[in-house]
Amino acid sequence: MADDQVPDAITADREDPDEAAGANRLVSRLSWVVLLEWLGAGAVLPLLPLYLRQHGMSSGFVGFTMASFYFAGLVVQFPAGRLTDRIGRRPILIAGLLAYGLASLGYLLPTTPGLFLALRFIQGGAAGAVEVAALALVSSAIPISRRGRATSRIYSGQFIGIFIGPVLGALVGVKHMGVLFAGTAALCTLAAIPVLTSSVIKVHDQVRIERHVALEKIIVGPVMIGAILAGVALGLATGVYEACWSLLMDLRGASQLQIGLSWTVFSLPYIFLIRAGGWMADHRDRRVLVIGGLLVMLGMHLIWPHIYIVNLMIVLNIIEAVGFSLVIPSIQSLLTEGRDPGELGRIQGVYATTSTASIAVSATVAGVLFGIAPWIPFTLAATLGVGIVIALSVLWRNAPGKVDPTMAAPGAGAR
């Protein structure tokens, strides 16, 4: 697919036109790589629990198998980030895509519950490695003045795949899951082709550290700590949403169609709004965007248990999508500003690991607390999140809010 067909070209900011065009092609390639991977993953995800149940797995083991996707991220993401700093991003991208595809084909074999669990674990680790490598490559290649928009395109590709994939999966149906597994493997292989063949990806992936040379220690400062804590707050909210949202709507009398529509209403605005969030991260005070977006999300968590009108819940989902869209690009911009390319993989690995951990823990605990009283998990996540927001206001009080477009030297800026 030609580069002029990809969404939203990134305009150059005080940059050589040829370099800007090359960087734009890099982001275009990676956004399509991520979209293809998650298109296949999204097609399988909603139906996989039903498929596992049909193969004799108990509800508890199905839940554990699905959760293994997140636990794999905890194990893999930081080592994958460290490896990208040493051998480059391309090998990790290729390995992750191919591992995800091969694991998808594994579901076609006569399998035992233990093998199902192992395959899902491999998929989680592979997806986590691809995310870390893609974000590290973008962060090392794109100037800080345009990094918010660049990272927003990567996330947009991911969520477009997650949005379209389930629709395709529903059309195929659980009776023909073999088609979906094979299709996912094919999409992952297709996604690996531009990583293998693209000269622009190869040119921008220049991290090569000899094995006998030790990696430099990451300097952890208030900006990085704050960005990681903001990711934890996002994870807490996301975990509660994934574990309890459908249960809450069912409790309010929502039909299956309304429950599905609520997820669509949340996802669809996010696909477009995150681009605006990326632009704002490059031009506005990122601290305000992160703190403001988190407060919007946390405020919605406080009121969800007290809304009893199903259609109103569906419409108000848009507000929470706005909060997410403001937060994520600005976190990435703050997290990576002034960092040496040789440490970005590890930094992305730390961020992804802590964020994934907070989602896994939040989802697990929220499900239990919802059984006690529906308001408890939402209120607890909001309370913890507000505590993180207070910590951010202290940690970032002297941090640069707006991007300095003249800052091009790696390692310059607040950490």
pLDDT digits (tens, 9 = 90+) for 387-404: 999 999 999 999 889 987
Read off the pLDDT band of 172 (50, 70, 90). confident
Q: What is the pLDDT of residue 59?
A: 66
Whole-angstrom Cα distance, residue 179 to residue 177?
5
Asked if residue 71 has pLDDT above 70, the reply is yes
- How does pLDDT run across 93-144, given as a tens digit for each residue? 999 999 999 999 998 888 788 888 899 999 999 999 999 999 999 988 888 8
Whole-angstrom Cα distance, residue 77 to residue 354?
10
Per-residue DSSP letters for 33-58? HHHHHHHHHHHHTTTHHHHHHHTT--
Q: 279: alpha, beta or left, given left = phi > 0 and alpha = psi -120 to 50? A: alpha
Task: Please give the residue that has the higher pLDDT: either 187 or 360.
Answer: 187
Report pTM: 0.82
| Phi, psi values for residue 75, rounded to 5° | -80, -35
Q: What is the pLDDT of residue 24?
A: 81
Asked if residue 306 has pLDDT above 90, the reply is yes
Length of the chain: 415
Asked if residue 2 has pLDDT above 50, the reply is no
**Segment (H or E) for 93:** helix 89-106
Instruction: Give how far Cα 114 sits from Cα of 90, 180, 246, Å.
Output: 31, 21, 28
Residue 198's CB is within 10 A of a number of other CB atoms, namely 19
Read off the pLDDT band of 222 (50, 70, 90). very high
Contacts of 212 (CB under 8 A, 6+ apart): none
Instruction: Give how far Cα 154 sits from Cα of 62, 93, 108, 400, 415, Å.
Output: 30, 14, 30, 24, 23
Instruction: List the domains of the chain with CATH numbers.
Output: 13-208 (1.20.1250.20), 217-407+409-413 (1.20.1250.20)
Output DSSP code: residue 217. Answer: P
Asked if residue 186 has pLDDT above 60, the reply is yes
Asked if residue 152 has pLDDT above 70, the reply is yes
Whole-angstrom Cα distance, residue 409 to residue 316?
43
- How does pLDDT run across 236-268, given as a tens digit for each residue? 998 888 788 888 888 899 887 787 778 777 777
Best CA proximity match to 355, nearest among 234, 267, 241: 234
Asked if residue 10 has pLDDT above 60, the reply is no
Asked if residue 200 has pLDDT above 90, the reply is no
- How does pLDDT run across 265-285, given as a tens digit for each residue? 777 777 778 889 999 999 999
Q: What is the pLDDT of residue 415?
A: 62
Averaged confidence pLDDT in the chain? 85
Q: What is the pLDDT of residue 12?
A: 39
